[in-house]
Amino acid sequence: MDDLEVLGERIATLSAQIQAATYQLLVMIREFDAREGWGCGFRSCAHWLNWRTGLAFGAAREKVRVARALATLPAIAGAMERGELSFSKVRAVTRVATPATEEELLIFAKAGTAAHVETLVRSWRRVDRLAEMEQEQRRFASRYLRIYAHEDGMVIVQARLAPEVGAVFAKALAAAGDQLHGAVLRAAADAEETTAEQGRADALAVVAESALAAGLDPGTRGDRYQVVLHVDAEAVAEQSDEGSSSLETGGGVPAETSRRIACDAALVVMRHGADGRTLDVGRRKRTVSPALRRALAHRDRGCRFPGCGLRLCDAHHVEHWADGGATKLDNLVMLCRRHHRAVHEDGIRVEMLAGGEVRFFRSDGGELRAAPVLSISPGMEDQAPVSRGGLAMSIEPAAGLPSWQGGAIDIAWALNYYLHARDTAPVTR
């Protein structure tokens, strides 16, 4: 072979090795995900990959999805491990493959190009979507809500709701039920036992009254949902559980949770006498003013935790106001609810540097850098690209070469064949 052919064979060999190495990477990602190695403040394994490896979030999420799927598809996994399937093919075929259909789909994937596999999978999913849409239309058409009066004067409500509407309805009832549990139901408990069904009926009344009282206008985000938390000054200032913190709806919260809520909340200071009576009630004020919040949102543009960036955020005091920290821009940082909790309750530490720069540290003291530098460890430059058990794998240049000879591919026939195989496959239990 001349030099150009040799170069081409080296490209093919290295490409096959990269596919095999990608399989090893997916195996490690699956184990890392299952063991929740990303749990040091990150929302998911994909968010951790986005931060630690520089992958775009969409690509990181696909890596995690494919890694999980390959756990149940040993034939496809083995082909990729041998460098016979590219990640592009595996990514496509794992969207529809099941243990019952993977053998047939593997034959198609090895024979065709990545474009052929993508076309087959898109057609497959289109057929499934059409079937799902028809089912959804029939289901949606069956929705109803009936209200009528019973002969004894009680009003009967019956409903059949779309799943997403039902979920919102159930959430609203749960929120109203929690409020009732802390007030009305506790008072009624002395008189008679309240069943769960009776509690939901009372909660429905609260939902309706709240909607009417608000004029069906949710208002601003800060005032849309309110939870009243009674906190002794010591609970916020001392960072201990010795102070008293209780929700108005009943139940207590740890002192550090109180500090998190107080970071960005509306505060009303009450002065109590020795006998517990309220002597004075101060004016309601927000710890972070609307003008300061606008400036903070303009500076941070979302959650500052590495790899996050969510827009719906709390304003976090780096040095808590109860400890003497000022409520000003150079002592505030935007954090989403998850990472605000991580900072207060999970041991993540924040440092604010000059110029608005922020540093985050794990509970063990290690820094979570905004953009870690990827590098090859010393001594790894000369290692074989792929290894199994410490031994170099022999990957042939033609491992990933499709057997397609350039003829027309009958996607409709292939789709009918594979859908029939799927629908007639025996059910395993």
> How many residues make up the chain in this entry?
429
CA distances from 128 to 102, 125, 134, 374, 419 (A): 17, 5, 10, 41, 10
Least confident of 69-78, 247-256, 275-284, 349-358: 247-256
Cα distance between residue 45 and residue 63, in whole Å:
10
pLDDT on residue 28: 95
Residue given tokens 């003008």 in the structure block: 291
CB atoms within 10 A of CB 75: 15
pLDDT band (50, 70, 90) for residue 111: confident
Q: Which residue has the higher pLDDT, 379 or 102?
A: 102
Least confident among 21-30, 270-279, 287-296: 270-279
Q: pTM for the full model?
A: 0.58
DSSP 214-245: TTT----HHHHS---EEE-HHHHHS-SS-S-E
d(Cα 367, Cα 293) in Å, to the nearest integer?
A: 27
Q: CB–CB of 276/297 below 8 Å?
A: no
Phi, psi of 360 (to 5 degrees): -115, 145
User: Confidence class of residue 91 from pLDDT cuts 50, 70 and 90?
Assistant: very high
What does the alpha-carbon distance between residue 269 and residue 89 come to, in Å, rounded to a whole number?
Answer: 62
pLDDT digits (tens, 9 = 90+) for 329-385: 989 999 988 888 888 888 889 998 887 788 898 888 888 877 666 665 555 444 444
Calpha distance 69→84 (Å, rounded):
18
C-alpha 187/C-alpha 189 separation (Å) is 6
pLDDT in tens, 233-268: 665 665 544 445 665 544 456 677 777 878 887 777
